[in-house]
């Protein structure tokens, strides 16, 4: 027999799969419908193009997802990892490297205001 922990993990996995199988088609339908309605509301009157169907709206949504990167690099986990990476790099810099980086940033972004000075 399996232990209670393994049984709990299995139930959680099955529950997650069922939720995904239910919520994913609903989300795809809602977003596809939203794209179709927004297109049909704006584009024909602005650019004199024809209205689109749900499937064309879904295709447009998929195309934009492919072209603009979809879900890659989004979410709190990605941002936390990025911040941690930058913080680690900063901590590994010598004081001279930090000052050189600050000067480089000032050259790119302009001088910092008094309000934006880093707190020591």
Q: Is 63 inside any structural domain?
A: yes
Cα 69 to its chain centre, rounded Å, is 9
Cα 47 to its chain centre, rounded Å, is 30
Q: Are residues 64 and 42 both part of a single domain?
A: yes
- Residue 52: strand, helix, or coil: coil
Residue 81 is part of which domain span? Answer: 73-110
Mean pLDDT by 10 residues, the chain (120 residues): 75 94 96 96 95 96 88 58 82 91 84 57
Locate tokens 């001088």: which residue? 111
Token representation of residue 46: 């602005």
Q: Is 117 inside any structural domain?
A: no
Is the pTM higher than 0.85? The answer reads no
């Amino acid at each position: 027999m399996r232990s209670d922990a393994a049984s709990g993990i299995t139930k959680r996995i099955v529950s997650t799969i069922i939720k995904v199988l239910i919520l994913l088609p609903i989300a795809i339908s809602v977003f596809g419908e939203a794209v179709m309605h927004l297109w049909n509301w704006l584009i024909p009157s602005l650019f004199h193009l024809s209205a689109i169907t749900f499937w064309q709206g879904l295709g447009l949504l998929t195309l934009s997802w492919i072209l603009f990167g979809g879900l890659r690099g989004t979410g709190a986990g990605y941002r936390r990892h990025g911040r941690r990476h930058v913080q680690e790099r900063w901590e590994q810099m010598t004081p001279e490297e930090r000052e050189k980086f600050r000067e480089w940033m000032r050259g790119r972004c302009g001088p910092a205001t008094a309000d934006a000075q880093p707190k020591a």
